[in-house]
Structure 1
Amino acid sequence: MGRDHLSNDEFFAQLNNLFEHTRTKGHGSVYLTQKRLTFESSSTPPTPTKLADDPLWDTHPEQPLPILIRVSNNKSDKRPGTDRKDVEKVKLSTIVKPDELDVFYARYAEACKAGMSGLKKRDKKKAKKVRKKKKGGEAKV
């Protein structure tokens, strides 16, 4: 796991570039994941005190834990015969300290909204007509 994490500012700059790239290409996906970073790899893991009556005892750490945010475009390989072989896989990650979470999530929400601005609404009427035709065709048989 020797990869370095980006600073929050670098992360947002590259996230915006990734959204812009997928928007201009007209296709592609951006996968966003987050998880609690339980401990730094250089230190020993924290040992929360186990309470007998609390089944979720490990969700109450003594100190707030940082969050690991990851972004990927999920391009796994450059197989011959695919139209996306010119796109390389992008993986970004950053660590958010507990005291910076509110500011980070405000920027994160804005970046995600801006990245989703080019999405098209589904045409529900067309799908409804197709389903209606299928139901109507079966009833006449």
Structure 2
Amino acid sequence: MVARDHLSNDEFFTQLGNLFEYNRKKGHGTVYLTQKRLAFETEGQAPSSDKVADDPLWDTHPEKPLPILIRANNNKSTPRAGTDREKIDKIALSTIVQPDQLDAFFVRYAEACKAGMSGLKKRDRRGKKDKKKKKKGATETKG
């Protein structure tokens, strides 16, 4: 696994806004947002037996608060045969949020996500209802 440089929180929000705008201009695309806590212990290191014996969920309440890793990407698009989709370069962003900055970060994060979703169209569900009615009508008339 290659280590990536993480953006500062301010740079992350700037780039996240640009990513939403980029997808809006393209007319299609998805932005994947993920978050996970950072553990400082090395992977594969077995917990001490007394931690497991005392509490099987010992890792859910660490001794000190852990920072959070926030990622955003557009999930690199590869064109399929027979489609007119163009190849889109992968854009990946990440930042680390310290525990004492979480509240302020998530306020800005929610605002950025809402702003990024402002151009979404409401999903058209009429097609599914029409198909169900047609199927239901066709089965009733056969009998």
TM-score range (shorter-chain normalised) is 0.7 to 0.9
1:128 maps to amino acid: K
What is the distance in 2 between the residues matched to 1:22 and 1:71?
13
What is the distance in 2 between the residues matched to 1:68 and 1:10?
14
User: Where does residue 2 of structure 1 map in the other structure?
Assistant: 3
User: Where does residue 84 of structure 1 map in the other structure?
Assistant: 86
What is the distance in 2 between the residues matched to 1:78 and 1:132?
35
On the 8 A contact 2:78/2:86 being kept in 1, the answer is no
Report how far residue 134 of structure 1 moved.
1.5
Secondary structure of the residue aligned to 2:5 is: coil
What is the distance in 2 between the residues matched to 1:16 and 1:62?
35
Unaligned runs of 5+ in 2: none
User: In the TM superposition, what are the counterparts of 1:123-138 in structure 2 within 5 Å?
Assistant: 123-138=124-139
User: In the TM superposition, what are the counterparts of 1:38-53 in structure 2 within 5 Å?
Assistant: 38-39=39-40, 50=51, 52-53=53-54
Question: For residues 81 and 133 of structure 1, do their structure 2 counterparts lie closer, same or farther at Cα, with a shift above 3 Å needed?
Answer: closer
User: In the TM superposition, what are the counterparts of 1:1-141 in structure 2 within 5 Å?
Assistant: 1-39=2-40, 50=51, 52-77=53-78, 83-85=85-87, 87-141=88-142
1:65 maps to amino acid: L
Report how far residue 108 of structure 1 moved.
0.3
Unaligned runs of 5+ in 1: none
> CA offsets per residue over residues 71-120 of structure 1, 9 Å max, x none?
110015467765221x2100100000000000000000000000011111
Q: How many residues are matched?
A: 136
Question: For residues 7 and 78 of structure 1, do their structure 2 counterparts lie closer, same or farther at Cα, with a shift above 3 Å needed?
Answer: farther
Question: For residues 80 and 10 of structure 1, do their structure 2 counterparts lie closer, same or farther at Cα, with a shift above 3 Å needed?
Answer: farther
Runs of 4+ aligned residues of structure 1 deviating over 4 Å after TM superposition are 76-82
Secondary structure of the residue aligned to 1:50 is: helix
What is the distance in 2 between the residues matched to 1:33 and 1:7?
17
TM normalised by structure 1 equals: 0.85
